[in-house]
Amino acid sequence: MRADAQRNYERLLEEARQAFIVHGTDVALEDIARHAGVGIGTLYRHFPDRYSLMNAVFTQELDSLSERAAELLDSEDPAAALTDWLRAVAVHSSAYRGLSAAIVEASETRMPACRTALHAAGGALLTRAQEAGAIRADATISDLLRLTYAFVLVAEKNPEEKGLYGRLMSLAVDGIRTHAPARTATAAV
């Protein structure tokens, strides 16, 4: 890639990152191009659609989530490690308003690099937890990521309800663990 094309590419990524944080992932692509000091045609030469731009921006940032997953693989409690990682995914996606909705709505062919990185990192944690007998065998990393993104989306839509994401995640984690929840006498009635 020519030096000027490389600079344009990097400026577009940086402007997109900032725009996604401030305005959400549905920001006008024309605004990103304008703030990067290039025309919309230049943006489309590098990124044919919104999802390819999002994929490029978020792929760069997934390294930290992959590193966190690698650190957690040695945790004594594999179910807690998986939960901690899913919370890190939620924190990452909540920094970009609309990212969770975009990922949930995207088909399997959109944002493939992001999906591959997340599935590899989270899949290793899930497999370890399942092999330890801590997480149900029928849980998949795709399902857990969808739940995580759905919870982030609900929390984004209800900002006045503090702690909503944490409560929803706790309910989901209790549901995927292999042990039966403790039942009280009144709960059995």
Question: Are 146 and 92 members of one domain?
Answer: yes
Place of tokens 């490389």: 6
Contacts of 47 (CB under 8 A, 6+ apart): 12, 53, 56
Tell me whether residue 124 is in a domain. Answer: yes
- Last-in-domain residue among 30, 48, 66: 48
Q: List residues bridging with 177 in a β-sheet.
A: 135
Cα four-point dihedral sign 177, 104, 15, 94:
negative
In which domain, by residue range, is 35 found?
A: 1-48
Which pLDDT band, with edges at 50, 70 and 90, does 26 fall under? confident
Q: pLDDT tens digits, residue range 146-165?
A: 899 889 888 888 889 998 98
Supply the CATH number for residue 174's domain: 1.10.357.10
CA distance 58 to 14: 11
Supply the CATH number for residue 15's domain: 1.10.10.60
Q: pLDDT tens digits, residue range 71-90?
A: 999 999 999 999 999 999 98
pTM of the model: 0.76
In angstroms, the Cα distances linking 178 to 118, 135, 152, 166 are 23, 5, 24, 20
Tell me whether residue 186 is in a domain. Answer: no
Residue 157 CB burial class (10 angstroms; 0-12, 13-18, ≥19)? exposed
Question: Are 125 and 147 members of one domain?
Answer: yes
